[in-house]
């Protein structure tokens, strides 16, 4: 518990001086006096358990410095800004002290009896205190019967001559002597430690044995009769000769884990004067019962024949961060018990069948971050215990085999396709490759026993399918983030890709450019609990789009305009931030639901904001009032009279039509004349409304010539003063430099009507289709008939139905066709004009009235 508390406070300790915040207070058990300009120990109550005095200017500590604090367990006196003098029995009044931290304080004078009277002291931190050899030689640590951890790193110690009293320190487990200046350690110096078992001894970064020539016949074995669980001799500049001599010298001492990182063994790439380790380098460790050997961070270029031959008990071998480029035959000979082999971050370019020969028990091979471009097909075949193979971040373009092992990591390669071979696995990671054909996904979804499949950041975008979907009873998690499923789905293909995944629990489809969900695509996912559709381009969710038993939905970062809260009935949590809510009355049901629902809504309320209308842009949905949006009862009674009226009109209209078809051209001209006599000037009579434009004319730029001649010249005021409409179209009215989508949105929302001229070109133009979708979403949002669709040219029903958004429109609403007969053009233009002029019958009193921001909410 003390350690834990200490850890917690360590964070405070690290952060507070950096922030320049001084905190000088006492809260019952902890006295926190960091950076408090103290020159002496403050008076604290006798209940104090932790006393933190780092970053002050305390100069001396004597017995009288501390009151009697029986409860004190942790004292931090590190990093004093002035040199520290510690007198005899300075901490005697703290009899129960467990942890004493003086790290980072320059200790000018330390009395040999300074630490006397601390029978319970378990951890003594004396790192970076400017201490010399004397601290070890002169018995400073006598009688510290509970001392377990001694940290003497970063001092000026040059000799490891230990005082005989070390022999009595029966609790001692770990000694850190790294970053001192100890050139040599011999048997007689460490004699007091003989017979002990230490869990950790660090002699790292001392230039040990590398700066002086060592006569090992005199020096003998420094660790004689010791058991070291971990010995760290990293960063001492050991080449092959020093390592060999050292291994031979410590013959027989038990060292379970040898850490020898940051060495200089090996010639690296392009040098040859330095040697790679060979059969003799580690031979002396044969009787050390070594289980782990870490020789990462060096320059080994080639793994020689039988280099680890004597390490028969070794279970973990770490060769990461060397320059290994070749593996000799039988390099791993003798490693009969090896379980984990780490060759990550090396320079391997290819793997051969014989590379891992002899590793009968290897379970985990880590080959990340090499340059492996090719692998012989039987390389892993005979490794019967292999469980995990990590080949991430290599250069594989093709692969002709996949081993049937439980866990395969192949992310960060350049795979375009997968071999079509029988395979079983539990976990497959293939992120950041170049897979593009969904056929590979169908293949992977059939892998028996597969539970987790990760395919983020590939290029799945089309579907040339050989595999049919089939029942997969094991798959639980499927990651498909950052692919291009939209492209496959919008072509109408692979809508059944999730069929058969009846046990899938989690599905990630983030960033797939989705602007629609194929009907029923999630229908079979009856076990799905979590679905992420984050960062797509969905504008609407339809009933039935979401899987029936979904609990958690992330649909943030889409373009939902006015979601229907009924869709979220099964959820227990969701994230719907950063959508494009339209704050008009249609949203009130959602706003209301949001306010009272008891499902967990992730994300900050400020991230759920209105996008339109402009006056409310950016306002949080939580500060929007829905007052005045209630349905009017009168509406129902109106409906019937409306029905009667429409029926009568329609009958009359049909009769007239029969008469007119024959002489329609003449009739129309006479009609126009009569009209102009009756109503002198129709333009004046028109009331202005809140829209900037009468209509936004949306067409493919390839049709511009035609549109100009056929429509603009007869309708737009800027073309002729006889015309009456203020039209908006891209070529003239879009703000140059502005985001195209923003321009489209703006045009859609600032025009009374949107006229889409659907031609062959239109159907091939992504922007046009996008604009159509926006217009349609506006119709959904304000339930109006703002969208007028005019079909131009000989497009069949089939052509129109191919596009989802247009299909939706065609099924529900009428559209116009550009007349084929020239005599009908005038009539058509007039009809179009009427459509543009037509105001919606107000269904609801407020349907176009904006919601209001409630400003009182702070
Ligand atoms: C410590 O002294 C400095 C300057 O002498 C002063 O700015 C700072 O406020 C003092 N801190 C405390 C906690 O008294
Ligand atoms: C702490 O000091 C008070 C008097 O100041 C004394 O009554 C009490 O017994 C002391 N508690 C301990 C734990 O020493
Ligand atoms: C290693 O030991 C051999 C034989 O004792 C000696 O000749 C050689 O100088 C030693 N090498 C190093 C680097 O200590
Ligand atoms: C290690 O010691 C054993 C016996 O103590 C001896 O047989 C063996 O040759 C020694 N090995 C080396 C490399 O010195
Ligand atoms: C291999 O070493 C690298 C680098 O130190 C490390 O990131 C990775 O986790 C190690 N692999 C295993 C299996 O321990
Ligand atoms: C949210 O609910 C509270 C009561 O639960 C109500 O006072 C408040 O007006 C509601 N806000 C909105 C925007 O509906
Ligand atoms: C809130 O949760 C309870 C059960 O936890 C449920 O019975 C109730 O229907 C929920 N209310 C709403 C509005 O979802």
pLDDT tens digit sequence for 46-76:
899 999 999 999 999 999 999 999 999 999 9
Alpha-carbon distance of 586 to 588, in angstroms, equals 6
Alpha-carbon distance of 441 to 418, in angstroms, equals 10
Q: Is the CB of 240 under 6 A from ligand 3?
A: no
> What is the chain's alpha carbon radius of gyration, rounded to the nearest angstrom?
40
Confidence class for position 747, pLDDT limits 50, 70, 90 = confident
Domains in the chain, CATH or no CATH each: 562-569+578-623 (no CATH), 695-837 (3.40.50.10140)
Give the total residue count for the chain: 858
| Contact (CB, 8 A) for 329 and 305 | yes
Q: Which DSSP letter does residue 577 get?
A: -
DSSP codes of every residue in 224-272: TT-EEEEEE-TTS---HHHHHHHHHHTTT-EEEEEE--S---S-TTT--
Q: Atom 8 (ligand 6): residue with closest C-alpha?
A: 595
| Contact (CB, 8 A) for 484 and 512 | yes
Give the start-end residues of each E strand in 661-805. 693-698, 727-728, 751-758, 787-791
Q: Is the CB of 36 under 6 A from ligand 1?
A: yes
Which residue is associated with the tokens 């026993």? 449
Measured from the Cα of 37, ligand 1's closest atom is 1
Measured from the Cα of 241, ligand 3's closest atom is 13
Tens-digit pLDDT profile for residues 320-338 = 999 999 999 999 999 999 9
36 CA distance to ligand 1 centroid (A)? 7
Tens-digit pLDDT profile for residues 749-775 = 888 888 888 888 888 887 888 888 888
Q: Where are the alpha helices (DSSP H) in 51-201?
A: 134-137
pLDDT, residue 437, reads: 94
Specify the higher pLDDT residue, 193 or 767. Answer: 193
Q: Is the pLDDT of residue 17 over 70?
A: no
Alpha-carbon distance of 69 to 186, in angstroms, equals 42
Q: Is the CB of 592 under 6 A from ligand 6?
A: yes
Alpha-carbon distance of 694 to 683, in angstroms, equals 13
Q: Is the CB of 158 under 6 A from ligand 1?
A: no
By DSSP bridging, strand 50-52 and strand 30-34 are parallel
| Contact (CB, 8 A) for 198 and 229 | yes
The mean pLDDT value for 513-527 works out to: 93
Q: Atom 5 (ligand 1): residue with closest C-alpha?
A: 37
Specify the higher pLDDT residue, 127 or 704. Answer: 127
Q: Which of 221, 245, 265 to mutate to test the pocket of ligand 3 (most atoms within 8 A of CB)?
A: 245
77 CA distance to ligand 1 centroid (A)? 18
Q: Is the CB of 597 under 6 A from ligand 7?
A: yes
Measured from the Cα of 283, ligand 4's closest atom is 13
Alpha-carbon distance of 837 to 830, in angstroms, equals 10
Confidence class for position 785, pLDDT limits 50, 70, 90 = confident
Q: Is the pLDDT of residue 639 over 90?
A: no
Alpha-carbon distance of 101 to 360, in angstroms, equals 48
Tens-digit pLDDT profile for residues 264-283 = 999 987 777 889 999 999 99
Token representation of residue 768: 């046009």
Q: Is the dihedral of CA 413, 414, 416, 417 positive or negative?
A: negative
DSSP codes of every residue in 476-531: -EEE--S--HHHHHHTT--TTTTTT-TT--EEE--SS--S---TTTTTT-TT--EE
Tens-digit pLDDT profile for residues 211-246 = 899 999 999 999 999 999 999 999 999 999 999 999
Tens-digit pLDDT profile for residues 675-726 = 555 554 444 334 456 788 888 988 888 888 888 888 888 888 888 877 888 8
Alpha-carbon distance of 600 to 571, in angstroms, equals 9
CA distances from 823 to 383, 621, 660, 663, 722 (A): 83, 53, 13, 10, 21
Whether residue 613 has a cis bond before it, omega within 30° of 0: yes
Q: Which of 342, 368, 392 to mutate to test the pocket of ligand 5 (most atoms within 8 A of CB)?
A: 342
23 CA distance to ligand 2 centroid (A)? 26
pLDDT, residue 624, reads: 84
Q: Is the CB of 242 under 6 A from ligand 3?
A: yes
Q: Which of 216, 241, 249 to mutate to test the pocket of ligand 3 (most atoms within 8 A of CB)?
A: 241
Measured from the Cα of 46, ligand 2's closest atom is 1
Tens-digit pLDDT profile for residues 139-158 = 999 999 999 999 999 999 99
Specify the higher pLDDT residue, 670 or 486. Answer: 486
Alpha-carbon distance of 116 to 320, in angstroms, equals 45
Task: Give me the numbers of helices (H) and strands (E) for the chain, helices first please.
Answer: 19, 42
Which residue is associated with the tokens 């230990």? 162
Alpha-carbon distance of 184 to 208, in angstroms, equals 5
Q: Ligand 4 — pocket residues by CB below 6 A?
A: 248, 251-252, 283-284
Q: What percent of the chain has pLDDT over 70?
A: 88
Confidence class for position 845, pLDDT limits 50, 70, 90 = very low
Can you tell me whether residue 209 is helix, strand or coil?
Answer: coil
Contacts of 677 (CB under 8 A, 6+ apart): none
pLDDT, residue 667, reads: 52
CA distances from 842 to 523, 632, 772, 785, 845 (A): 38, 11, 24, 11, 6
pLDDT, residue 273, reads: 80
Q: Is the pLDDT of residue 635 over 60?
A: no
């Amino acid at each position: 518990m003390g350690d834990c508390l200490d850890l917690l406070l360590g964070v405070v300790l690290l952060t507070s001086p950096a922030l320049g915040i001084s905190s000088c207070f006492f809260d019952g058990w902890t006295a926190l006096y960091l950076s408090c300009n103290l020159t002496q120990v403050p008076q604290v109550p006798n209940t104090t358990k932790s006393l933190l005095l780092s970053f002050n200017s305390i100069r001396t500590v004597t017995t009288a410095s501390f009151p009697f604090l029986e409860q004190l367990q942790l004292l931090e006196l590190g990093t004093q800004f002035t040199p520290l003098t510690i007198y005899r029995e300075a901490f005697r009044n703290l009899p129960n002290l467990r942890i004493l931290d003086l790290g980072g304080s320059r200790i000018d004078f330390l009395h040999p009896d300074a630490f006397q009277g601390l029978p319970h002291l378990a951890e003594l931190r004396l790192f970076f205190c400017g201490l010399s050899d004397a601290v070890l030689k002169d018995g400073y640590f006598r009688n510290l019967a509970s001392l377990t951890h001694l940290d003497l790193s970063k001092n000026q110690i040059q000799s490891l001559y230990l005082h005989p009293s070390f022999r009595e320190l029966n609790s001692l487990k770990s000694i850190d002597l790294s970053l001192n200046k100890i050139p040599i350690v011999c048997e007689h110096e460490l004699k007091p430690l003989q017979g002990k078992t230490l869990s950790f001894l660090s002699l790292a970064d001392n230039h040990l044995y590398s700066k002086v020539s060592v006569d090992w016949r005199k020096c003998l074995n420094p660790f004689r009769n010791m058991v070291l669980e971990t010995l760290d001799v990293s960063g001492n500049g050991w080449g092959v000769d020093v390592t060999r001599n050292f291994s031979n010298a410590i013959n027989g001492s038990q060292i379970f884990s040898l850490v020898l990182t940051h060495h200089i063994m090996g010639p690296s790439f392009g040098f040859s004067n330095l040697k790679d380790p060979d059969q003799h380098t580690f031979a002396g460790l044969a009787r050390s019962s070594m289980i782990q050997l870490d020789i990462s961070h060096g320059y080994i270029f080639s793994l020689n024949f039988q280099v680890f031959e004597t390490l028969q008990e070794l279970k973990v071998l770490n060769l990461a961060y060397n320059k290994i480029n070749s593996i000799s035959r039988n390099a791993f000979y003798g490693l009969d018990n090896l379980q984990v082999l780490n060759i990550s971050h090396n320079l391997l370019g290819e793997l051969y069948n014989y590379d891992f020969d002899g590793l009968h028990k290897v379970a985990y091979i880590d080959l990340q971050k090499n340059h492996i471009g090719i692998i012989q097909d039987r390389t892993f075949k005979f490794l019967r215990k292999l469980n995990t193979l990590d080949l991430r971040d290599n250069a594989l373009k093709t692969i002709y085999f996949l081993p049937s092992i439980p866990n395969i990591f192949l992310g960060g390669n350049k795979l375009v396709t997968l071999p079509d071979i029988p395979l079983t696995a539990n976990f497959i990671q293939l992120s950041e490759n170049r897979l593009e054909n969904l056929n590979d996904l169908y293949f992977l979804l059939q892998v028996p026993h597969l539970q987790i499949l990760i395919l983020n950041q590939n290029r799945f975008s089309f579907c040339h399918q050989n595999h049919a979907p089939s029942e997969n009873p094991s798959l639980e998690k499927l990651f498909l983030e950052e692919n291009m499923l939209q492209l496959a789905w919008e072509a109408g293909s692979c809508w059944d890709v999730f069929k058969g995944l009846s046990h899938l629990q989690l599905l990630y489809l983030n960033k797939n450019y989705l602007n629609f969900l194929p009907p029923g695509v999630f229908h079979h996912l009856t076990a799905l609990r979590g679905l992420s559709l984050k960062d797509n381009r969905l504008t609407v969710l339809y009933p039935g789009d979401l899987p029936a038993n979904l609990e958690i939905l992330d649909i943030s970062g889409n373009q939902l305009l006015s979601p229907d809260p009924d869709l979220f009935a099964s959820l227990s949590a969701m994230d719907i931030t950063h959508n494009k809510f339209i704050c008009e009355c249609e949203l009130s049901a959602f706003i209301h639901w949001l306010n009272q629902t008891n499902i967990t809504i992730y994300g900050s309320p400020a991230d759920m904001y209105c996008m339109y209308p402009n006056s409310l842009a950016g306002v949080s949905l939580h500060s929007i009032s829905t007052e005045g949006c209630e349905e009017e009862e009168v509406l129902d009674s109106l409906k019937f009279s409306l029905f009667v009226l429409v029926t009568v009109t329609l009958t009359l209209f049909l009769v007239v039509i029969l008469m007119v078809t024959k002489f329609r051209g003449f009739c129309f001209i006479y009609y126009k004349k009569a009209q102009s006599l009756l109503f002198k000037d129709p333009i004046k009579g028109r009331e202005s409304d809140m829209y900037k434009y009468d209509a936004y004319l949306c067409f493919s730029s390839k049709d511009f010539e035609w549109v100009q001649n056929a429509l603009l010249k007869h309708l737009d005021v800027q073309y002729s003063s006889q015309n009456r409409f203020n039209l908006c179209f891209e070529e003239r009215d879009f703000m140059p430099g502005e985001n195209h989508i923003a321009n489209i949105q703006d045009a859609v929302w600032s025009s009374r009507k949107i006229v889409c001229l659907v031609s062959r070109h239109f159907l091939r133009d992504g922007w046009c289709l996008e604009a159509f979708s926006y217009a349609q979403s506006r119709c959904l949002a304000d339930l109006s008939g703002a969208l007028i669709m005019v079909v131009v040219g000989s497009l069949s029903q089939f052509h129109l139905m191919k596009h989802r958004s247009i299909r939706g429109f065609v099924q529900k609403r009428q559209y116009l066709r550009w007349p084929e007969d020239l005599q009908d053009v005038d009539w058509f233009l007039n009809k179009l004009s009427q459509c543009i002029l037509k105001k919606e019958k107000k269904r609801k009193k407020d349907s176009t009235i904006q919601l209001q921001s409630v400003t009182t909410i702070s």
